[in-house]
Amino acid sequence: MYLDRYEVIELPRGAKLHWILNPGLAFNELILGQRIPARDLVDQLSDAPWFDRVYVECKSCGAIHKSLLWRKALMGNWFGLVCPSCEAKIPTLLNVFSLALLIPTAPLWFPLKLIFEKRLHRMQLAIIRNTPVLPPKVQGMSLRAALAIGGVWGAVMFLFFVLVMPSLTQTDMTSQTPMAYFLAALMCAVGGVLFGLYLRWASNRRVKQIASKGS
């Protein structure tokens, strides 16, 4: 039985729980299109480094794929992951904050799903099948990348407060003073920078863990 060989990692294990509960990861899911499988298998008989012994099982065809395959198409998986052998969907996790945003906005994104889902899956599969597997680059996040992500996040927050929130709460934004806009922009900018710095800190800490423990 293959499960004697593999350790199953799924909810409520720490890494998976972290994925669905950390509000910052909603950014990875909704903006970057990063998705992770609901279930990983870790080979207990291999001496390979951690990243090289994690597998993803396809329940439809029974294929067991290296998780590394998806490192080649890490972003852009807004409509989930598909099996490179049989193209069936592989169950993925969904962050609860993503879910809270996706449910009320379903009329906006559902037509996009109908139009682009198959096309996007074909593109991602082409990347997965046609590029060689490379070991992941274990490196931290640069300050510039952290600030860029923070900037985008701040801008998205600002647009949310200025455009989406008032229409949801039926607030008349024309009565707001320029100062109110300025303060909102400042808050979002500071929030974005802090968020970027947090991501950089978390990513660098993870790199140190990988370097020291190999897991």
Residues binding Zn ion (CB under 5 A): 58, 60-61, 63, 83, 85-86, 88
Output 125 or 156, the one with its CB closest to Zn ion. 125
In the complex, least distance from residue 94 CB atom to Zn ion, rounded to whole angstroms: 21
CB nearer to Zn ion: give 63 or 96. Answer: 63
**56 vs 65: CA distance, rounded Å:** 5
* Shortest separation between residue 90's beta carbon and Zn ion, angstroms: 8
CB of 84 to Zn ion, least distance (A): 8
Q: How far is the CB of 109 from Zn ion (least distance, A)?
A: 26
17/61 with CB nearer Zn ion: 61
Three-class HEC string of the chain: CHHHHEEEEECCCHHHHHHHHCCCHHHHHHHHCCCCECEEEEECCCCCCHHHCEEEECCCCCCEEEHHHHHHHCCCCCCCEECCCCCCEECECCCHHHHHHHCCCHHHHHHHHHHHHHHHHHHHHHHHHHCCCCCCCCCCCCHHHHHHHHHHHHHHHHHHHHHHHHHHHCCCHHHCCHHHHHHHHHHHHHHHHHHHHHHHHHHHHHHHHHHHHCC
Q: Which is nearer to Zn ion, 8 or 86 (CB)?
A: 86
Q: Provide the minimum distance between the beta carbon of 118 and Zn ion in the complex, in angstroms, as a whole number.
A: 16
Toward Zn ion, which CB reaches closer, 59 or 208? 59
